[in-house]
Amino acid sequence: MKEFFPEIPHIKYEGKDTKNPMAFRFYDPDEVIAGKKMRDHLKFAVAYWHTMCAGGSDMFGVGTHDKSLGADDEMELARRKAHAMFELLDKLSVDYFCFHDRDIAPEGRCLAESNERLDEISDIIAGLMKDTGKKLLWGTANCFNNPRYMHGAGTSPNADVFAYAAAQIKKAIEVTVKLGGNGYVYWGGREGYETLLNTDMGLELENMARLLKITSEYGRKIGFKGDYYIEPKPKEPTKHQYDFDAATVIGFLNAHGLSKDFKLNIEANHATLAGHTFQHELAFARVNGAFGSIDANMGDMLLGWDTDQFPTNVYDTTTCMLEVLKAGGFTNGGLNFDAKARRGSNTWEDTVYAHIAGMDAFALGLRMALKIIEDGRIDAFVANRYSSYNEGIGKKIVDGTATIEELEAYALNMGEVMTNTSGRQEYLENVFNSILF
């Protein structure tokens, strides 16, 4: 195939002082730090739906970025998009991609035709993967766009819709397995409600679990060895999404016996929509053994929706990479840029600048997170803060050997708690800054 983006060069690492906008300043893919290449620490992925499909349309206007790639029918466009994405992966030194079924191949007139189209395009993608060594971070099914899903997929009141969604997800998992995907994501799409006046919440939640169970078990049967992820989001498109946040999803998975086979895909912008920090969601997943993968983006403090901006906030990328390192790094997961350039940034150069900005912000975040760990002051402070659990009554509490009577006797004898020491938040914030700058 011809080169689609002759105006875009191979993006190289030129170091932090370069003024070349088509270069990395912090991301040096093959540089080894803390025992691993940067590319293996960060495991960047391009999101097919944003990078190859989204043209900038919003509720007030049509697309601004022509992504038709010179094709004049939708299947020809699908073929070209596949080739064009691999050109971008190569030029950006991104090793992974993620897709929804309907991103790679447009929906046909019936499920059978949609499936045939998926077969054709996934053959092309498989060939390109073989030629380039690029990998699939995860696949997923778009069960929210088509009007049939207007009341949800697994949570639709209409059993025919449940059946259709199950069949669509079955095929999406098959394609994921065919492409050697490391993961499969379930984002709730329209699994939620607009009003409880028309909603049987109990049945909807049970059915959502049934859909996860029947499709995930099928994946294992056909040899899917990767991770299943749920991607929490509190609202949008529905007023209340059932997969509200990490805590809600972990509770749901436990309640339905699904926790063994599911981890979480944490998206930065979804965390803030839920009223949490990105780091909170990552930490909550990690301490519950459910940390899996990340949708790397950011929201806007002044806007209450999923703006899906490319991440450029280095505080957030640093605290994110601290959590990733504490989790032992990514296994099957990675950093998927579920992000798009703004509507006014309407050229392929802008798409590339956006990826460079996100990759450099995370590369810098990784470097800073390693410096914070190496410095050791913050970790040492936290360890010391809890040191009362290392001996005496504290040790008995964490070992589970302290009885309630013993705790009462201890408290009566103590009189009053005399040793509550300062949490030193401002000191720690200053240490954090002093390491970064």
**Binding stretches for Ni ion (CB under 5 A):** 267, 295, 306, 338
CB of 237 to ligand XLS, least distance (A): 8
Q: In three state form, how does the secondary structure of 143-169 look?
A: CCCCHHHCCCCCCCCCHHHHHHHHHHH
Structure tokens at 267: 């998206």
Which of 95, 101, 103, 227 is flagged as catalytic? 103
Strand, coil or helix: 4: coil
Q: Say whether 103 is catalytic.
A: yes
Binding of ligand XLS by 233 (CB under 6 A): yes
Quick check: 309 binds ligand XLS (CB under 6 A)?
A: no
- The item of Ni ion, ligand XLS, none sharing an interface with residue 140, based on CB under 5 to 8 Å by kind, is ligand XLS
Q: Do 215 and 169 contact (CB within 8 A), yes or no? A: yes
Residues 355-394 that bind ligand XLS (CB under 6 A): none
**295 lies in the site for ligand XLS, by CB under 6 A:** yes
Buried b (16+ CB within 10 A) or exposed e, 65-100: bebebeeeeeeebbbbbbbbbbbbbebbbbbbbbbb
C-beta closer to Ni ion: residue 92 or 339: 339
Q: Is 187 a residue that touches ligand XLS (CB under 6 A)?
A: yes
Q: Is 267 in the site for ligand XLS (CB under 6 A)?
A: yes
Residue 154's alpha-carbon distances to 6, 99, 384, 401, in angstroms, are: 44, 20, 47, 45
Q: Does residue 310 interact with ligand XLS by CB under 6 A?
A: no
Tell me whether residue 140 or residue 215 sits nearer to ligand XLS (CB atom).
Answer: 140
Provide the 3-class DSSP secondary structure of residue 179.
Answer: coil
Using DSSP, state whether 414 is helix, strand or coil. Answer: helix
Site string for ligand XLS, 327-346 (x = CB under 6 A): -----------x--------
124 vs 266 by CB, closer to Ni ion: 266
Separation between Cα atoms, residue 188 and residue 262, nearest integer Å: 14
Interface with ligand XLS (CB under 6 A), residue total: 10
The residue from 100, 151, 276, 355 that is catalytic is 100
- Residue 297 · residue 258 · CB < 8 Å: no
How is residue 235 annotated by DSSP?
Answer: S
The question of whether 101 is a catalytic residue gets the answer no
184 binds ligand XLS (CB under 6 A): no
Q: Report, as residue numbers or ranges, the catalytic residues.
A: 100, 103
For ligand XLS, the binding residues (CB under 6 A) are: 100, 140, 185, 187, 231, 233, 267, 295, 306, 338
